[in-house]
Amino acid sequence: MRWTIKPKPETEQIDQLAKALKVNHLIAQLLLQRGISTYEEAKNFFRPQLEDLHDPFLMMDMDIAVSRIETAIANNENMLVFGDYDVDGTTAVSLVSSYLLSYYPNVATYIPDRYGEGYGVSYTGIDFAEDNNFSLIIALDCGVKAIDKVAYAKEKGIDFIICDHHRPGDKLPDAVAVLDPKRADCEYPYDELCGCGVGFKLIQALGSRKGETIYDQTQYLDLVATAIGADIVPITGENRILAFYGLQVINEAPRIGFKAIIDQVNKASLTITDVVFIIAPRINAAGRMKHGQHAVNLLTETDMQQATKFAAEIETFNTDRRGLDQEITQEALVQIQENREEEGFTTVVYKDTWHKGVIGIVASRLTETYYRPTLVFTKSGDKLAASARSVKGFDVYNALEGCSDYIEQFGGHKYAAGLTLLESQYNNFKHQFEKVVKESIDPQLLVPEISIDAIIELKDINPKLMRILRQFAPFGPGNMSPTFMSENLVETGYAKGVGQDAAHLKFAVTQNDSYKIGGIGFNLGDKLPLVTSRKPFNAVFSIDENEWKGNVSLQLKLKDIK
Tell me the mean pLDDT in the region 286-315.
95
pLDDT band at 411 (very low <50, low <70, confident <90, very high): confident
pLDDT above 90 for 91: yes
Tell me the mean pLDDT in the region 282-304.
94
Tell me the mean pLDDT in the region 460-476.
94
Bridge partner list, 250: none
Tell me the mean pLDDT in the region 393-413.
92
Q: What is the pLDDT of residue 550?
A: 78
Say which CATH architecture domain 339-446 belongs to.
Roll (3.10)
Q: What is the pLDDT of residue 555?
A: 95
pLDDT band at 513 (very low <50, low <70, confident <90, very high): confident
450-561 CATH:
2.40.50.460
pTM assigned to the model:
0.92
pLDDT band at 267 (very low <50, low <70, confident <90, very high): confident
pLDDT above 90 for 514: no
pLDDT above 70 for 40: yes
Alpha helices in 102-236 (DSSP H): 123-131, 147-155, 195-209, 221-230
Q: What is the pLDDT of residue 306?
A: 97
> Among candidates 359, 303, 307, 297, which has minimal Cα distance to 331?
359
Q: What is the pLDDT of residue 341?
A: 64
Domain edges within the chain: 56-314, 339-446, 450-561
Burial class (CB in 10 A: 0-12, 13-18, 19+), 322: middle
Q: Output the average pLDDT for the chain.
A: 94
Report which DSSP code applies to 288: I
Contacts 24+ apart (CB under 8 A), 148-153: 149/121, 149/122, 149/123, 149/173, 150/121, 150/174, 150/175, 152/123, 152/126, 153/126, 153/129
Q: What is the pLDDT of residue 546?
A: 84
Q: What is the pLDDT of residue 557?
A: 96
> Among candidates 279, 289, 230, 277, which has minimal Cα distance to 250?
279
Q: What is the pLDDT of residue 310?
A: 96
Q: What is the pLDDT of residue 208?
A: 97
pLDDT above 90 for 329: yes
pLDDT band at 384 (very low <50, low <70, confident <90, very high): very high
CA distance 66 to 2: 49
pLDDT above 70 for 171: yes
Within 10 angstroms of residue 288's Cβ, the number of other Cβ atoms is: 25
pLDDT in tens, 230-242: 988 999 999 999 9
Q: What is the pLDDT of residue 339?
A: 83
pLDDT above 80 for 157: yes
**How many alpha carbons fall within 13 Å on the CB side of residue 381?**
11
**Cβ–Cβ under 8 Å, residues 403 and 429:** yes
Q: What is the pLDDT of residue 342?
A: 64
Say which CATH architecture domain 56-314 belongs to.
Alpha-Beta Complex (3.90)
Tell me the mean pLDDT in the region 92-119.
95
Q: What is the pLDDT of residue 528?
A: 92
